[in-house]
Amino acid sequence: MSELTPCNYCNLQAYKRRAKERGQKVTVLNNRQHGGKDVYMHPDFVKVDQNSKELYEEYRIAWFMELPNSCFC
């Protein structure tokens, strides 16, 4: 990873900060088709879960191949 590129953990934390500023929330779900994780930023009243995520593709903002538990920058 480049020194100038934030890791996926830091990207997720930035998404969470941005969602909080907008009154939204972030949901991370497993991507069964390609592996990795799908990240959704959506209004608080929308419930995105593993069974309904196809309905809410408009809220998907990222896909991570790996999502570590801490920073690797």
pLDDT digits (tens, 9 = 90+) for 17-61: 999 999 999 999 998 888 999 999 999 999 888 888 778 889 999
Q: Tell me, what's the pLDDT at 4?
A: 76
**CA-CA distance, 26 to 18, in Å (whole number)?**
9
Residue holding tokens 């998907």? 60
What is the extent of the structural domain holding 19?
8-64
Q: Answer yes or no: is pLDDT of 1 > 60.
A: no
Residue 69 lies in a domain: no
- Geometric angle at alpha carbon 13, from 55 and 21, rounded to 5°: 75
Structurally, the chain folds into a number of domains equal to: 1
Residue 50 lies in a domain: yes
Residue 17 lies in a domain: yes
Q: Tell me, what's the pLDDT at 2?
A: 60
8 band by pLDDT with thresholds 50, 70 and 90? very high
Residue 42 lies in a domain: yes
Residue 55 lies in a domain: yes
Residue 20 lies in a domain: yes
Residue 22 lies in a domain: yes
